[in-house]
A and B are shown apart, each in its own frame.
Chain A
């Protein structure tokens, strides 16, 4: 009896121990997770409670001193660059390890390893776009051309790895514990991959949608609905700029034929609307102090842990401070004692698609003019958590990878389009930032930018010596008019990109007469620029508001620039609403609600402040109106894009009775005013529901800005319902999921004065008090002091760590 009882109890014990150690379904192993000595409870500790005075780091040449200020911003003081980046790697990993790794896993199509087969389609997509392929080429390029950068990349990755190697179970970031996997070693390649990931995040193309539109609408209507330049073009490089170079001649081949299939495939995932940015610099002539002031606020998807991590990096030669990208070396948007710079996205249709005509079903060769070219096969092994790996074969042509083929999303038709993308060509973006970090003047800045290929950026610049500048930098293919706007025939060599625009012919300006430079993702240039410029996503509102303000302002202070970054003026509403109200006439229902809303709209000052109700009404009404006007287009088979807001408002205003407004799908004849009236009614309906269910319709309560954890399912690790104003197309571009991911203003005087903030916190640990502590200040338009620190400075010091070389 006793034996049996003993055996039963031992079995139960073993079973409990075993069950505790394995994952049941999607749940992580429970016992190690709950064990307060090692599990998630340990992640409650904040970084200051875990501070160490000394850390021994192999490979250092000299001791490196790190002071953390009250916001947990590390200020690294090293004797040389190799030590500097080794410690940057270690410190960044200490606070952001899970995020760094997760982002590179996403970039290389390895999410299935973490979450299982549910992510296989996503990973296949990532790999078929060739992100990892691009990073491999980038790595080879650096190995061949730039041993110096390679050395620094390796120092950084060694710093990350020394942190990983000493990491205890208790200190492991909580996401690893929940998702039940462990960090692997960092490599130089992963840093490159991260920069490619940024390309993917920021670069889109609408070739598929435009191909469909062209087929349905014809060239003439395309020109009307999607003109190359807006009527009031207010480009990045000031209009009237003289181009002082002899352009490379390029001519459009006669008789081009585009592939004419009806294209019903899914488009590639696009950067989401609202990912854009502002940057500007004002010359001393416009500022109170006489020093140039520079401002930058890149808008991206709002996430936790934040995309950005603030740091100061100092050697005896330079001191740079600003926003870093965890995983990449140096500061990406920031300043040193001599210069400041910032970035906004400068997309210019950098991706094109070519239809591939395979010779046989084996896809070993394809047609190219009169010859036949060989393909290459790249086998992608996608490891899947808990299952056997998924093998995917991707066909590569000289253009690039064939993204969609018979094995991938080929349900509806034979696809076979190859993706040509500048991100697939060897380049060294890392070098740009390493050089900018220590640049001293305008010519250093230009040299640094020469290394930058993709994603193309508007680099703003200001220097202590009084210069302000803007340069649009990327590797831009030299295109004939409309080349790459639509899908092209890959069998016709005349469709190829012929060459690239030389760096010195990329649009740029230095100290323009108007006393400021600015960019907000609008058209880069006016129509006098000698090369073809096209993109679907150019901004039409933020840029004009920004430039209007900058033109009229004088005696500018840092505080004025902070306020301008937080400007909630809704220019789109200012232009659209009066037209809408006029078209509505007195026709609105006499219902008291309708009258109340109309009154609110009429009394509105066009600021989308968080407590205002009118922005909600306008936003809803406009959304319904826009849907209603372009209903016919939306119902076409296959993906399309609709004319932008700016163009739509112009048509509403100028062609009230136009054919454009008549829906072919209905029997009656619609005019602009029909759409306006119907959409006003629809808005009333929706508001009725909203008021009944939610009550308050103040703008902040309606748009519900959310800063979401990188794993969207972890809603409790996100910050929801952030009370803040702004929106898409507004300088303060904070919509529901996007907004200023980093705000910085810098005055380049004798002593640099700087402020910065981002919606997150320095710690990536959701248990830390530094995880999201900047969010309330950010939402309020407040800033943190970002002045450069001295090594011995005691003010607002949280703690210090000295990294010492191993003896």
Chain B
């Protein structure tokens, strides 16, 4: 359940905050979400990963269908992949990696704090 909840939260972040910030700000966002909500390592990793991936694929799919543009296929040819669909999958994979690892980092940082609450301002 935590996985789905976290997935949806990440997707909302990507879809609604994404248009206003560059992708690395979304990575920071996913990191902070996990840090605050501590969903657990696997929910953080897969939830944010799929949240990112599905929203990136969803957005590119929506744009492709909505506009009827052939740009996907044209870009695929320039980047040396087979088709626009493959490029969409690549987009999803890149999104997954960015989301999953950012979020996992956040969750793991939180795990560190949990064991040593006294060292919270200590760094090290």
Contacts and interface: CB of A to CB of B under 8 A. Distances in A.
For the residues of A in contact with B, the DSSP-based class is helix
Nearest to B115: A2
B90 A34 contact: yes
A170 B22 CA distance: 10
Contacts of A608: none
A795 interface: no
Interface in B70-124: 70-79, 87, 90-91, 94-95, 97-98, 101-102, 104-105, 108-109, 111-112, 115
A9 B101 contact: yes
Given A6-B108, A13-B27, A45-B63, A40 B101 contact: no
A787 interface: no
Contacts of B4: none
Given A49-B67, A767-B71, A768-B69, A32 B60 contact: no
A2 B104 CA distance: 13
Contact of B77 (A42, A169, A715, A767): A715
Interface stretch (A16-24, A58-66, A315-323): A16-24
Contacts of A766: 71, 74
Interface residues of A, number: 41
Contacts of B14: 37
A12 interface: yes
Given A13-B105, A30-B94, A44 B73 contact: no
Given A12-B101, A13-B101, A20-B94, A717 B111 contact: no
Nearest to B68: A769
A43 interface: yes
Given A2-B111, A766-B74, A767-B71, A44 B102 contact: no
A714 interface: yes
B112 A16 contact: no
A769 B68 CA distance: 8
A767 B69 contact: yes
Contact of A41 (B63, B74, B109): B63
A44 B105 contact: no
B56 interface: yes
Given A9-B105, A34-B56, A38-B23, A2 B112 contact: yes
A11 to B, nearest CB: 9
9 interchain residue pairs of minimum CB distance: A767-B71, A716-B77, A44-B69, A36-B59, A13-B101, A37-B18, A716-B74, A44-B67, A6-B108
A178 interface: yes
A174 interface: yes
Contact of A10 (B18, B56, B77, B105): B105
Contacts of B104: 9, 13
Given A17-B24, A44-B72, A31 B98 contact: yes
A46 B98 contact: no
A3 interface: yes
A45 B101 contact: no
Given A5-B108, A37-B18, A169-B22, A16 B98 contact: yes
Contacts of A10: 105, 108-109
Contacts of A27: 79
Given A16-B101, A27-B79, A40-B75, 18 more contacts: A2-B111, A10-B109, A34-B91, A35-B22, A36-B59, A37-B14, A37-B18, A37-B59, A38-B19, A41-B63, A43-B71, A44-B64, A45-B67, A169-B22, A174-B71, A178-B75, A716-B78, A769-B67
B80 to A, nearest CB: 9
B73 A36 contact: no
A636 B22 CA distance: 60
Contacts of B69: 43-46, 767-769
A41 B98 contact: no
Q: Which of A10, A30, A44, A45 has the most CB of B within 10 A?
A: A44
A21 B26 CA distance: 14
B105 A20 contact: no
Nearest to B93: A34
10 contacts: A12-B101, A16-B98, A20-B94, A36-B59, A36-B91, A41-B64, A44-B71, A46-B67, A716-B77, A717-B78
B23 A20 contact: yes
Interface string B1-44: 00000000000001000110011100100010000000000000
A41 B77 CA distance: 14
Nearest to B98: A16
Given A3-B112, A44-B71, A32 B22 contact: yes
Contact of A2 (B77, B79, B91, B108): B108
A767 B94 contact: no
Given A3-B112, A21-B24, A35 B73 contact: no
Contacts of A12: 101
B51 to A, nearest CB: 14
A37 B101 CA distance: 20
B56 A35 contact: yes
B123 to A, nearest CB: 12
Contacts of A2: 108, 111-112, 115
Contacts of B72: 41, 44
Nearest to A765: B71
A98 to B, nearest CB: 14
A20 B87 CA distance: 15
A32 B26 CA distance: 12
Contacts of B22: 32, 35, 38, 169
Contact of B105 (A3, A6, A37, A716): A6
Interface string A680-708: 00000000000000000000000000000
Contacts of B109: 6, 10
Contacts of A37: 14, 18-19, 23, 59
B58 to A, nearest CB: 8
Nearest to B21: A37
Q: Which of B31, B68, B71 has the most CB of A within 10 A?
A: B71
Contacts of A43: 69, 71
Contacts of A36: 18, 56, 59-60, 63, 91
Nearest to B108: A6
Nearest to B57: A36
Interface string A123-151: 00000000000000000000000000000
Contacts of A30: 94
Nearest to B30: A13
Contacts of B73: 716
